[in-house]
Amino acid sequence: MITVLKIRLSSDIHFMKNDMNIIRLDAVDSTNDYLKREKNLLTNNFLSVRADIQTAGKGRNSRDWISVPGLDLTFSVVYNTGVNPQAASIYAGAAVLRVLKKYISSDDLKIKWPNDIYFGDSKLCGILCEMVKHDDGFCVIIGIGINVNSEHAGSDKGYISVFDIISEETCLDLLHREILLSLREIFTDFSYPVPDKILNEWRDNNCSIGCEVIYICNDIESKGTVTGINSDCSISVLDSDGIRTTECFDNVIFFEKKAQKAV
Ligand code: BTN
């Protein structure tokens, strides 16, 4: 069953005059894949599809995204202004972090490049941005999965939820709408190359700089340390000899542990 809701926001944020288009699904394979099939929806900027159950939730690099029906938040948002998915990823990560910070006031809440949100060593939120072609051009589908009210204590899988951290239930509807507003707000000033304002926000709240990584360049694997993020959304990695810096996009694998000496 598909219910299309038009939610009028009562928030005092300056988008209050706008309606939010939200499609609520009981169950779907993946909210990103649903939007890819329903191409006629893709011209609606900021339309969001949220599902209580995803039967084949996807993460980056062909991983699965598992969430607990009714307890976690899984939704996708259309951004149809034709930006590249890497830039959309950086903006989306910052937008979600701004909202999660209101719920979790702790320095342990961090972005891991490009846009995962971690609390300490455990993953709280994953974002999958995909570029899709439709009749009027291209758009980015921003898929967001947040562990909200599920419990992960004792699980060794490296995930954590908002509930695990604050010991309180969070209203999924409210969190969803706050994130939609935050996305609209941040994308209002979208520009590429990514401006310093956004990069600095990312730099101030990341757990990637100083991490040891493996990166693959011209088919050669090397070890290095992440030293920064750049306006083209790449991260800079200094090789383990401390000589050469390489700009990396999706050719980077993070180690589990932070490097001893942050650069
Ligand atoms: C990752 O951690 O690699 C990204 C996870 C993204 C999960 C969300 S849940 C809503 C949307 N639909 C999907 O199938 N994936 C994204």
- Substitution candidate for ligand 1 out of 32, 48, 63, 142 with most atoms within 8 A of CB: 32
91 close to 195: Cβ distance less than 8 angstroms? no
State the Rg of the chain over Cα: 18
* CATH number belonging to the domain at 211-258, selected among 3.30.70.1560, 2.130.10.10, 3.40.640.10, 2.30.30.100: 2.30.30.100
Count of other CB atoms within 10 angstroms of residue 39: 14
Q: Which residues line ligand 1 (CB under 6 A)?
A: 30-32, 54, 57-60, 63, 65, 74-76, 116, 126-128, 143-145
Position 256 scores a pLDDT of 54
Q: How does DSSP classify residue 201? A: H
Taking CA atoms only, the protein residue closest to ligand 1 atom 1 is 59
Å from CA of 124 to ligand 1 middle: 12
Position 257 scores a pLDDT of 52
pLDDT, averaged per 10 consecutive residues of the chain (263 residues), comes to 41 46 96 96 95 96 93 96 86 97 96 93 96 90 98 85 97 97 95 94 94 86 92 92 86 62 36
- Substitution candidate for ligand 1 out of 28, 60, 65 with most atoms within 8 A of CB: 65
227 close to 237: Cβ distance less than 8 angstroms? yes
| Location of each CATH 2.30.30.100 domain in the chain | 211-258
Peptide bond preceding 85: is omega within 30 degrees of 0, i.e. cis?
A: no
192 close to 201: Cβ distance less than 8 angstroms? no
- Substitution candidate for ligand 1 out of 24, 113, 129, 144 with most atoms within 8 A of CB: 144
- Sheet containing strand 116-119, edge to edge, reads 2-8, 19-28, 48-54, 73-79, 137-146, 122-134, 116-119, 109-112
141 close to 58: Cβ distance less than 8 angstroms? no
Taking CA atoms only, the protein residue closest to ligand 1 atom 9 is 145
In the block, residue with structure tokens 């590249």? 84
CB-neighbour burial class of residue 157 (10 A; exposed 0-12, middle 13-18, buried 19+): exposed
Å from CA of 145 to ligand 1 middle: 5
pTM for this one? Answer: 0.89
Position 154 scores a pLDDT of 74
* Token pair recorded at residue 52: 């209580």
Å from CA of 135 to ligand 1 middle: 25
Å from CA of 58 to ligand 1 middle: 5
209: helix, strand or coil:
coil
Whole-angstrom distance, CA of residue 253 vs CA of residue 256: 10
Å from CA of 88 to ligand 1 middle: 14
* CATH number belonging to the domain at 2-204, selected among 3.40.50.20, 2.60.120.330, 3.30.930.10, 3.90.180.10: 3.30.930.10
Atom of ligand 1 nearest to the CA of 116: 2
161 close to 152: Cβ distance less than 8 angstroms? yes
| Location of each CATH 3.30.930.10 domain in the chain | 2-204
